[in-house]
């Protein structure tokens, strides 16, 4: 009743962005202390150059995937196929870009990724297949398809516009940052300024109730998987452009897991319902920062997954209201006992 | 006249047919086509694809019924593939093991089924080496040493090296690291300032190199990558940092894929130690000997060779992979 922590408690409850931001902040402070070069920025060839810029640039792929994944997870689903869709989009674009116009190549590859995502959505929305199974099919088959297209070879290309996509700079920052910003703003407006966001949340919270309210739940699902496919396609183009080669067997490998991590770390529960796009983007930045931190600290690659996992578990635990209540409970008891 | 011509033609045809039958039948009786299972790691690099192609082509040439499995880089898939080969009762199994450990149970099954196992390109750790017939592989340790020797000569025995490791736990990553470290240990002024994994990927090589260039800046004078793909990724990172790969930073790698030769011709890569993936002929020789019950040496070493910019131009046209 007379809880001494009553004033602080609201800070720790319901603020979905608080914990990922705190995690990212602590990680940055840690880096500031242990690797002095981390915050060093300079202008080189007319653009910013430094570790922070790398995090934004390399993290852009997971950020894009996480934006699409957030919407999928908001409807209570999951999309495991995004890594393979990256491979397909990259392979198609790399093969077409030297033959037809750049705009056409981008349109075709993104179109294909969206169509593939739509197929996922149809399987889930209308055929009623579990999301994890439906997207697993494309996760396995999609990479095979990409390898079939490229004959298992790494396809290299020299095309200034395509190379610019993943390596160019705009306003002093990598162009990828602009792409992520555009996709994020578009998604935010589409979900928060229209009723779409509400539809997603209601389908994720209680699909039956949503249907009785007149929401076409199946169509909503098709839309989010298609959008996730599109985001994966963009990420695939960036990844391919970044190394100037379509490495269809390795591009985006395990990136679906990073994207799911990013969404969960960002505060969107896997059970569906409420979601936070900004949280997911911060989650993606947190994961990329962790990776770069491991490089900077010189942690042996065989053991570096362990500290990474610890940080991610810590952030996830802090988000759990029950876990926090437990900790606060112990803390409170001690205070009272004293 | 006309009729007799046709008759004679027919008789020639008959003769040819009967000859084919006579000639064909003892051959077929002598050797019914072998069925061989090949559990490949995946298709993660051009090198790997070349190896797969070589084994497939040699299988076709020897009229072997080859069952091919791609494990997509995962050991559990490989073990599943080997188990299914055993269930299908193949005559022999070729494995390109993805990691060194964890092979005992499935190899014991193969041994019980009396199916000889030939390992290609990577070794394994087992307590009983009768579990496999032979290993056909390059010596990764000596590849690492060759890279170290070449680099030492190039930089006058003085360098601050960034090492890009392969996938942690993979035999080539372990041995190329060991060999390189042994190779540079003779030269006190050559030291590895950072060693991180790029996972044998182009994107991995680039990402790690970007991060390490930010940390060490001009201190980095050489890069040693455990495969060409990572070196090619690192070259891009070096260029983006405003340095000249091949001149400002010496880049040495292992594998010898075509992309590496192209990079050497354009002066961006300094040296690659070839690791020959065309193991098909040797693998099937070993398979045939093992089926006949001949005793094979536990390891057959494939000869490797270092190529640099001076020799790259001459050999690039003849590269198959």
pLDDT per position as a tens digit, A69-109? 999 999 999 999 999 999 999 999 999 988 899 999 999 99
The Cα–Cα gap between A78 and A81 comes to 9
Q: What is the pLDDT confidence band of residue A6, given thresholds at 50, 70 and 90? A: low
User: How many separate domains does chain A show?
Assistant: 1
Say if A205 is an interface residue toward chain B (CB within 8 Å). no
Q: What is the pLDDT of residue B1?
A: 44
Q: What is the pLDDT of residue A4?
A: 56
Domain that holds residue A185: 9-337
Q: Is residue A2 part of a domain?
A: no
- Contact yes or no for A221/A75 (Cβ under 8 A): yes
At residue B87's C-alpha, the angle toward residues B85 and B89, to 5°, is 70
Q: β-strands A47-50, B159-165: how paired?
A: unpaired
B221 CB-contact burial (10 Å; exposed 0-12 / middle 13-18 / buried 19+) = middle
Q: Is residue A4 part of a domain?
A: no
Domain B35-137+277-302 has CATH 3.20.20.70: no
Rounded to an integer, what is the distance from CA B170 to the centroid of its chain? 13
CATH number for the domain harbouring residue A146: 1.10.3470
Rounded to a whole number, what is the distance in Å from the CA of B49 to chain A's nearest CA? Answer: 7
Q: What is the pLDDT confidence band of residue B139, given thresholds at 50, 70 and 90? A: confident
Residue-wise pLDDT for B220-262, tens only, equals: 999 999 999 999 999 999 998 889 999 999 999 998 888 899 9
Q: What is the pLDDT of residue A92?
A: 95
pLDDT at B96 over 60: yes
Q: What is the pLDDT confidence band of residue B10, given thresholds at 50, 70 and 90? A: low
User: Regarding predicted confidence, which is higher, B229 or A312?
Assistant: B229
CB contact under 8 A, B233 and A243: yes
Q: What is the pLDDT of residue A326?
A: 85
B186 is written with which tokens?
């003779």
Listed residue (A179, A167, A282, A83) closest to B210, CA to CA: A167
ipTM score of complex: 0.84
A65 is written with which tokens?
């995937």
- The 3-state DSSP class for residue A224 equals helix
- Output the CA torsion A187→A283→A181→A44 (10° steps): -170
The Cα–Cα gap between A284 and A62 comes to 6
In eight-state DSSP terms, residue B273 is: E
| Closest residue in chain A to residue B46, using alpha carbons only | A153
Query: Testing the interface with B: which of A91, A158, A247, A258 to mutate, by most B Cβ within 10 A?
Result: A247
Say if B211 is an interface residue toward chain A (CB within 8 Å). yes
- Output the CA torsion A50→A51→A56→A58 (10° steps): 110
Q: What is the pLDDT confidence band of residue A13, given thresholds at 50, 70 and 90? A: very low
The Cα–Cα gap between A196 and A202 comes to 10
The Cα–Cα gap between A74 and A203 comes to 8
The Cα–Cα gap between B219 and A77 comes to 48
Listed residue (A60, A97, A20) closest to A252, CA to CA: A60
- Contact yes or no for B107/B125 (Cβ under 8 A): no
Say if B236 is an interface residue toward chain A (CB within 8 Å). yes
A288 CB-near residues (< 8 Å, 6+ apart)? A55, A58, A59, A62
Q: Is residue A3 part of a domain?
A: no
Residue-wise pLDDT for B157-191, tens only, equals: 999 999 999 988 888 899 999 999 999 999 999 99
| Residue ranges of domains in chain B | 35-137+277-302, 140-276+308-318
Q: What is the pLDDT of residue B19?
A: 46
- Contact yes or no for B175/B146 (Cβ under 8 A): no
What is the rounded average pLDDT of the residues B91-106?
A: 90
Buried b (16+ CB within 10 A) or exposed e, B184-215: beebeebebbbbbbbbbbbbbbbbbbbbbbbb
The Cα–Cα gap between A278 and A93 comes to 29
Q: What is the pLDDT confidence band of residue A47, given thresholds at 50, 70 and 90? A: confident
User: Regarding predicted confidence, which is higher, B225 or B50?
Assistant: B225
What is the rounded average pLDDT of the residues A222-226?
A: 96
The Cα–Cα gap between B94 and B58 comes to 13
Query: Testing the interface with B: which of A36, A52, A243 to mutate, by most B Cβ within 10 A?
Result: A243
Q: What is the pLDDT of residue B23?
A: 45
Q: Is residue A114 part of a domain?
A: yes
CATH topology assigned to domain B140-276+308-318:
Rossmann fold (3.40.50)
- The 3-state DSSP class for residue B95 equals strand
The Cα–Cα gap between A26 and A24 comes to 6
Give the CA count within 13 Å in the CB-facing half-sphere of A68: 36
State the average pLDDT for chain B: 85
pLDDT at B321 over 80: no
Say if A305 is an interface residue toward chain B (CB within 8 Å). no
Q: Percent of chain A at pLDDT above 90?
A: 54
CB contact under 8 A, A249 and B42: yes
Query: Testing the interface with A: which of B173, B174, B202 to mutate, by most A Cβ within 10 A?
Result: B202
User: For A27-31, A54-58, A218-222, B44-48, which range has the lowest pLDDT when averaged over its residues?
Assistant: B44-48
A234 CB-near residues (< 8 Å, 6+ apart)? A64, A89, A110, A179, A183
Residue-wise pLDDT for A289-308, tens only, equals: 999 998 888 888 888 889 88
B35-137+277-302 with B140-276+308-318: one CATH topology?
yes
Calculate Rg over the CA atoms of chain B: 24
pLDDT at B22 over 80: no
CB contact under 8 A, A249 and B211: no
What is the rounded average pLDDT of the residues A262-287?
A: 90
B178 is written with which tokens?
């060991």
Q: What is the pLDDT of residue B297?
A: 85
| Closest residue in chain A to residue B53, using alpha carbons only | A152
Q: β-strands A173-174, B65-70: how paired?
A: unpaired
The Cα–Cα gap between A197 and A200 comes to 5
Residue whose tokens read 């193969």: B110
Q: Which chain B residues contact residue A247 at CB under 8 A?
A: 201-203, 229
Q: Is residue A225 part of a domain?
A: yes
pLDDT at B155 over 60: yes
Rounded to a whole number, what is the distance in Å from the CA of A250 to chain B's nearest CA? Answer: 6
**DSSP string of A34-98?**
H-GGGG-EEEETTEEEEHHHHHHHHHHHHHHHHHHHHHHHHTT---TTHHHHHHHHHHHHHHHTT
Q: What is the pLDDT of residue A273?
A: 86
The Cα–Cα gap between B43 and B77 comes to 14
In eight-state DSSP terms, residue B193 is: E
Q: What is the pLDDT confidence band of residue B95, given thresholds at 50, 70 and 90? A: very high
A287 CB-near residues (< 8 Å, 6+ apart)? A59, A62, A258, A261, A262, A265, A308, A312
Listed residue (A15, A165, A149) closest to A85, CA to CA: A149
User: Regarding predicted confidence, which is higher, A4 or A94?
Assistant: A94
Residue-wise pLDDT for A133-192, tens only, equals: 999 999 999 998 998 898 878 888 888 899 998 888 899 899 999 999 999 999 999 998
């Amino acid at each position: 009743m007379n809880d001494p922590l009553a004033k602080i408690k609201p800070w720790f409850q319901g603020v979905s962005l608080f914990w990922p931001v705190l995690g990212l902040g602590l990680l940055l402070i840690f880096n500031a202390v242990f690797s002095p070069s981390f915050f060093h920025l300079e202008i080189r060839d007319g653009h910013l150059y430094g570790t922070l810029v790398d995090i934004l640039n390399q993290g852009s792929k997971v950020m894009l995937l996480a934006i699409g994944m957030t919407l999928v997870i908001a409807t209570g689903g999951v999309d495991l196929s995004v890594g393979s869709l990256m491979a397909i989009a990259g392979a198609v674009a790399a093969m077409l870009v030297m033959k037809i116009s750049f705009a056409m190549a981008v349109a075709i590859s993104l179109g294909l990724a969206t169509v593939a995502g739509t197929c996922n959505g149809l399987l889930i929305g209308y055929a009623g297949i579990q999301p994890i199974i439906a997207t697993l099919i494309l996760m396995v088959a999609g990479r095979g398809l990409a390898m079939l297209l490229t004959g298992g070879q790494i396809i290299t290309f020299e095309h200034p516009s395509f190379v610019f996509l993943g390596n160019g700079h705009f306003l002093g920052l990598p162009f990828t940052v602009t792409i992520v910003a555009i996709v994020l703003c578009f998604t935010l407006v589409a979900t928060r300024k229209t009723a779409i966001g509400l539809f997603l949340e209601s389908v994720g919270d209680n699909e039956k109730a949503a249907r009785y309210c007149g929401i076409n739940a199946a169509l909503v699902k098709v839309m989010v998987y298609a959008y996730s496919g599109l985001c994966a396609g963009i990420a695939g183009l960036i990844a391919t452009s970044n190394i100037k080669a379509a490495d269809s067997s390795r591009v985006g490998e395990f990136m679906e897991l990073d994207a799911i991590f990013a969404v969960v770390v960002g505060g969107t529960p896997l059970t569906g319902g409420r979601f936070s796009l900004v949280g997911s983007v911060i989650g993606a930045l947190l994961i990329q920062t962790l990776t770069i931190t491991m490089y900077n600290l010189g942690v042996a690659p065989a053991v570096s997954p362990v500290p990474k996992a610890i940080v991610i578990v810590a952030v996830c635990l802090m988000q759990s209201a029950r876990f926090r209540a437990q900790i606060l409970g112990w803390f409170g008891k001690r205070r009272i006992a004293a | 006249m006309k009729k007799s011509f046709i008759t004679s033609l027919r008789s020639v045809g008959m003769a040819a047919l009967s000859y084919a039958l006579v000639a064909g039948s003892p051959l077929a009786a002598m050797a019914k086509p072998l069925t061989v299972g090949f559990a490949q790691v995946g298709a993660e690099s051009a090198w790997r694809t070349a190896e797969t192609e070589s084994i497939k082509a040699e299988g076709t040439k020897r009229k072997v019924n080859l069952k091919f499995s791609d494990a997509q880089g995962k050991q559990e898939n490989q073990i599943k593939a080997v188990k299914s080969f055993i269930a299908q009762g193949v005559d022999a199994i070729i494995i390109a093991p993805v990691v060194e450990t964890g092979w005992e149970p499935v190899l014991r099954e193969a041994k019980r089924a009396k199916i000889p196992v030939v390992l290609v390109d990577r070794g394994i750790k087992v307590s009983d080496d009768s579990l496999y017939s032979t290993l056909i592989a390059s010596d990764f340790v000596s590849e690492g040493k060759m890279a170290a020797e070449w680099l030492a000569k190039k930089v006058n025995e003085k360098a601050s090296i960034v090492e890009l490791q392969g996938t942690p736990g993979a035999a080539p990553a372990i041995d190329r690291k060991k060999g390189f470290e042994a190779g540079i240990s003779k030269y006190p002024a050559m030291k590895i300032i950072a060693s991180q994994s790029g996972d044998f990927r182009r994107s991995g090589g680039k990402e790690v190199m970007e991060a390490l260039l930010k940390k060490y800046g001009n201190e980095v004078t050489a890069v040693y990558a455990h495969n060409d793909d990572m070196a090619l990724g690192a070259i891009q990172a070096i260029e983006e940092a405003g340095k000249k790969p091949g001149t400002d930073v010496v880049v040495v790698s292992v594998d010898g894929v075509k992309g590496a030769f192209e990079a050497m011709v354009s002066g961006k890569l300094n040296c690659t130690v070839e690791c020959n993936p065309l193991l098909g002929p040797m693998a099937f020789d070993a398979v045939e000997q093992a089926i006949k019950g001949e005793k094979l040496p536990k390891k057959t070493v494939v000869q490797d060779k270092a190529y640099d910019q001076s020799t790259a131009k001459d050999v690039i046209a003849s590269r198959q992979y």
